[in-house]
Structure 1
Amino acid sequence: MPADGPDGLVNVGLGFWYRNPAFSTITPGYVPVTHPVGESASLTIAGLKVKMKHSPSDCDDSVNMYFPALETCVHNSVWPTVFNVFAIRGEEYRDPRVLIPGIDHIINWSPSFMVATHGPALVGKDNIREKATRYRDSLQYMWDQSVRGINKGWTMDEVSSRISLPALYDEDYLTSERYGVVEHHLRQIFIGLRGWFDGDESKLFPVEPKERYAKLIAGFGGREEVARQAQAALEANDVRWATELSTWLARSAGATIADRALLASCLRVIAERTPAANIRNWAITRARHLDGSMPMDRFMRHTFSSGVLRTTPSDELIATLRVLVEPSAIDGMNHHIAFHIDDVLCGLHVRNGVAVPTTGANADSTVVMSQKTLHALLKGSVLWSDMVAESSVSINGDVGAVDRFRKALENKGFSS
């Protein structure tokens, strides 16, 4: 997203930037653990007693801390927006039942000061108690009402459209929809509790998407008619329906520049009106991809950044190849390939359409290369065939089987 203009970045939900442009370099902030904490602990740090409580939040290993002498709590539980049960970028289920106890502990500590890992500090016992209580209750409300809807036989779409937070939760920013939106959180709770099938008969065995779009478009009178209805819906302020109709066109076979531009227009309206930063940013980014102003194709493949390569052991990188396999290209294979990367030995057993990570012991064939060469192959800055020609990669065993496997990988360096 650009820095300004109609498509400009306003904020990223929990701050103005993901990476502050004022800082020219980016260094990892990770510090290795020196004192593991279980469910709870009481420590003395720099002369101050600290109570610690395992309090999962947006990550499973979050720990909330309370300094009694300072009446101060340092936490990752009460965010400056209604909690992001669902992250639009994709995330594992964040179960409210797991999150709520962390907030209950904060309330029981009764701090006078709260310092957040996300968002500004809060001051005052009564103020903190009131806001923290409302925050934990917003999570319980979403979970309880989702379960109520499920028990009534509502589908996921019905749960999402029929349930909303009461107006009282909009009284301050802590429980307002400034990051994600409640209707998406409800969907995540639904899936987290009972999985993807919600009882909607049409979802049991749906038609393949492109075929479905073609049938819907034909049923509505053809592409021109669908485009006309989508534009009319957008002009009539029926943005959801306009977006759905436009999606049929943009995702169907034969989609035109005009079809994609129409969907981009719908997404920009959503971006302009949503209170949630994550929704705005996703909608603008997708619109810019659709209209060609900022294609995102480079993100629609598995890549290996320099930072990932630098910090990931070679055996883990080799194991990652398993998710790059086109299974039809290894159909019928049963071959164990060892990879000797400098002093690291690991392997992949190619069988039954998968590549199973192994220690590399007793392999049928062995590939030998340096870590530097492995990194270059994964980044695509060099090609396998060139590396073999200059002896930077050597193969002992069945060269044909190794070649068949590496050509099945959706990675330019390995497959070329």
Structure 2
Amino acid sequence: MKRSKLFIFVGLTAALFTFSSCTGGKTGTPLDASAKDATKTTQDKNREVHALLDFSDEQEREFAEKGLIAAPESLELKDEKGKVVWSQKAYSFVENADAPATVNPSLWRNTQLNHLYGLFEVADGIYQVRGYDMTNITFIKGDTGWIVFDPLMSIECSAAAMQLVNENLGERPVTAVVMSHPHVDHYGGIKGIISEEEAASRGIPIIVPEGFEEHAVSENVYAGNAMGRRAGYQYGTILDDSATGSMSIGIGMGQSTGTISYISPNDTIKQTGETRTVDGVTMEFQLTPGTEAPVEMNTWFADKKALWIAENCTGTLHNLYTLRGAQIRDGNAWAEYIMEAMTRYGKDAEVVFQSHNWPHWGNDVINRYLENTAAMYKFINDQTLMYINQGYTSDEISNMITLPESLEKNWYTRQYYGTVAHNAKAVYQKYMGWYDANPVNLNPLTPSDSAKKYVEYMGDTGEVLKKARADFDKGEYQWVAEITNVLVFADPGNQEARYLCADALEQLGYQAESGTWRNAYLSGAKELREGTTTDTALKANSSADLKKSMTPEMMMDYMGILTDSNAAQDVNLKINLNFTDTDPYLLRVDSGVLLYQKGMQADDADATLTLPRVAMFTILNKDEAKQQETIKIEGDQDILKKLTEHMVTFEYFFNIVEP
């Protein structure tokens, strides 16, 4: 059954902000593994947010609802094994409800807007399926088929979105794919709309900005294990979807956990102003490197007066630094490229749409939207540098900087995803690095070692916990979390410290307007109470597609990352790699450090390997049987054992809130 209208938000506009009756946090609340209610301090903090903002301003809700064509009554997607990989059904509790005390009222409102899902018309011939993954998937109608922008993160999600389009707009082939930037939620679902064989046989253009593949690999492979684990905290994948669990993250409801795929692009945009005409549709591209991604691009549809702004504008303050870990983004460049888009297209644009959240319509509205978004990133960049030049440190600046009132009260510049505090730290890191110039901090002790010394100096941990409980009752949750986490790192078995730290993090989560901060706080609380999560069902089902696109340099770089060079410091090797399908390389291991030279071979090499490029994966995976099938070795027959002996295996579920 499909619904033709979106549900109406009762009480979202004129009703007074209400709280459920919660009395948790009083002196004597037991320290145990149970989740707690919102304390009076948290309720008061959330009331302050509600008083600050104009909840009668419904423009963003109206834009989020506009153009709905169809949506299923309930949306829950599963993979072939029956695992739920995406669910809007889980968030039905936000419908027609006021914010409970355990959720920041602004974040609750944002969750309700991101819960609006289905097939929407953006403009004549432009459609979006929203709310089927963290990202929007966009369909541009050509003469014969669809040009698809940013095909989501998971195959299951993009296939379901395609089915919704087919059912309501008629079946049409995919005639091109545009991927705006190399974050996995913008390309991982591509095989849900086309196969690799179909793309090749039909010559389907897969259009990307220059540098796309390099950055897709470097971000998702080189540090992929750590990013994946940290992303679980950022996106709340270990949390329940509930009023005491995960809410939206500003740019969407969270991360799908389906199957990730990849098809190599075959058409690269190298400069702003380049155009492509595909299936009767003319597109002009604007490159925006160093903004939301290392490489990214906007797209202008002149005949439709429509601007695709990629992820450079959304319904929230975005990240100059993302909590899962990534390269620092340039707030100044971000602002400049938005202003360039205004200069190039602002006078003509009648709709701006993007890869997250909902479009904005009307030329005046669009130009304010672009200008306010640019001003937000420019302010954070410039204000942080002003404080840096006055000698303030990263932590000091993050506690000092606040947006101007006009931006602070603007719904689409609220801090649902990024925050002013951690974005200011990103600017500090970009220009100054990690060091604050205080020599005490040049080479600090490890967290565990320093924690043990703190405890030794403090003496009686029971007295510390007593004082921490008193501070908890006063609402000093950040300090309580800090001091009790010191106790946890000194002694992970200190259950009272674990539980009190969890209780403090939980209250910080209930207060957080940023969905990612809420998820991080509550994920930390959960793991302090229950231990580090090890449920592999919480991970996305990554395919080998991306790794298959790695160049020999990328594979050797990754081999270097896998190698414990300290353990291998007595290993010295020279290996000629005679690839049958690309250039030869000389691979060297010098005192355990892996180096390579393209186009080189050594007469005194320990061994020469003749192999296709993809056979390098048998080395990375230590697959001896496959190595024998695909690699011919001349010279030292034990060379691969010597090369891989000190390669490590990464543990995905490493500890975060305990040593």
One-letter amino acid of the counterpart of residue 241, structure 2: D
Give the alignment partner of residue 172 of structure 1, picking from 410, 422, 432. 410
Note the alpha carbon deviations across 1:360-405, whole angstroms, 9 max, x for none.
733313567888886467557x6x5x879x8888865446775444
**Which whole-Å deviations, capped at 9, do the CAs of 1:20-58 have from their partners, x for residues lacking one?**
x7xx76544x56242524133355555565443212332
Q: In the alignment, which residue of structure 2 is the partner of 1:59? A: 293
Partner of residue 158, structure 1: 396
User: 130-139 vs 146-155, which deviates more?
Assistant: 130-139
Amino acid at match of 1:158: E
**8 Å CA contact retained: 2:284, 2:301:** yes
The counterpart of 1:361, out of the listed 577, 591, 601, is 601
Structure 2 counterpart of 1:90: 325
CA contact (8 A) 1:349 1:356 kept: yes
Q: Which of 199-208 and 129-138 deviates more? A: 199-208
In 1, Cα distance between equivalents of 2:278 and 2:580: 42
2:572 to 334, 347, 352: 334
8 Å contact from structure 2 (residues 249, 514) kept in 1: no
Contact 1:113 1:121 in 2 (8 A): yes
Q: Does 1:195 align with 2:467?
A: no
Instruction: Give deviations 1:310-333, integer Å, cap 9, x for gaps.
Output: 443566334411012222222233
Instruction: Write the mapping of 1:59-208 to structure 2, written as runs, cut at 5 A.
Output: 59-76=293-310, 77-108=312-343, 109-110=345-346, 111-208=349-446
Distance in 2 (alpha carbons) for counterparts of 1:259 and 1:346: 54
CA contact (8 A) 1:268 1:287 kept: yes
- Deviating more after overlay: 391-400 vs 226-235: 391-400
TM-score by length of 1: 0.82
- 2:474 corresponds in structure 1 to 236
Tell me the alpha carbon deviations over residues 268-322 of structure 1, each in whole angstroms, 9 at most, x when there is no partner: 22222211111222233333333335525989xxx99534444435663344110
Matches of 1:69 and 1:254, distance apart in 2 = 62
Q: Which runs of 5+ in 2 are unaligned?
A: 1-237, 651-659
1:32/1:239 CA distance change after superposition, 3 Å: same
Letter in 2 for 1:176: R
Residues 350 and 376 (structure 1), Cα distance of their counterparts in 2 relative to 1, 3 Å cut = closer
Return the letter of the residue paired with 1:92: Q
Q: In the TM superposition, what whole-angstrom CA distance separates every residue of 1:190-213 from its partner, at most 9, and x where no partner exists?
A: 110121112234312323332211
Give ranges in structure 1 of 5+ residues lacking alignment.
none
Closer, same or farther in 2 for the Cα pair 1:42/1:204, shift >3 Å? same
Say whether the 8 Å CA contact 1:330–1:404 is kept in structure 2: no
2: CA distance between counterparts of 1:16 and 1:143?
Answer: 28
More helix by share: 1
By relative contact order (CA 8 Å, sep 6+), the higher-ranking structure is: 2
CA separation in 2, counterparts of 1:347 and 1:257?
54
Q: In 1, Cα distance between the equivalents of 2:281 and 2:613?
A: 46
Change (3 A) 1:410 1:127: same
Against the structure 1 CA distance between its residues 147 and 316, is the aligned structure 2 distance closer, same or farther, given a 3 Å change threshold? closer
- In the alignment of these two chains, the number of paired residues is 401
Aligned amino acid, residue 74 of structure 1:
W
The answer as to whether partners of 2:351 and 2:363 remain within 8 angstroms in 1 is yes
Cα distance change, pair 104–5 in 1 and its aligned pair in 2 (3 A): closer
Q: CA deviation at 1:218?
A: 2.0
Q: Counterparts of 2:307 and 2:388 in 1: how far apart (Å)?
A: 37
Question: Which deviates further from its counterpart, 341-350 or 47-56?
Answer: 341-350
Distance in 2 between residues matched to 1:245 and 1:31, nearest whole Å: 49
Query: Kindly tell me: are residues 371 and 353 of structure 1, through their superposed partners in 2, closer, same or farther at Cα, counting changes over 3 Å?
Result: closer
On the 8 A contact 1:155/1:200 being kept in 2, the answer is: no
Query: Which residue does the alignment assign to 2:462?
Result: 224
1:11 to 226, 244, 248: 248
Instruction: State the secondary structure of the residue aligned to 1:178.
Output: coil
Letter in 2 for 1:355: L
CA-to-aligned-CA distance 1:234-279 (integer Å, 9 cap, x gap): 3321111111112212222554344434333333222222111112
Amino acid at match of 1:364: D
Counterpart of 2:286, as a letter, is: K
Compared CA separation, residues 294 and 355, structure 1 to 2 (3 A): same
Alignment of 1:194-343 (within 5 A): 194-252=432-490, 255-292=493-530, 295=533, 306-313=544-551, 316-338=554-576
Residues 52 and 400 from structure 1, CA distance in 2 versus in 1: closer, same or farther, beyond 3 angstroms? Answer: closer
Report % sequence identity. 20
Displacement of 1:175 in angstroms is: 0.6
Note the aligned Cα RMSD (angstroms). 3.5
Amino acid at match of 1:361: Q
- Secondary structure of residue in 1 paired with 2:299: strand
Give the whole-Å Cα distance in 2 for the aligned partners of 1:333 and 1:178.
49
Question: By how many angstroms is 1:342 displaced?
Answer: 7.7
SS at match of 1:323: helix
Aligned equivalents of 1:361, 1:170: Cα separation in 2: 60
Of residues 396-405 and 132-141 in structure 1, the stretch that sits farther from structure 2 once superposed is: 396-405
Instruction: Name the CA distance, whole Å, in 2 between partners of 1:404 and 1:304.
Output: 29
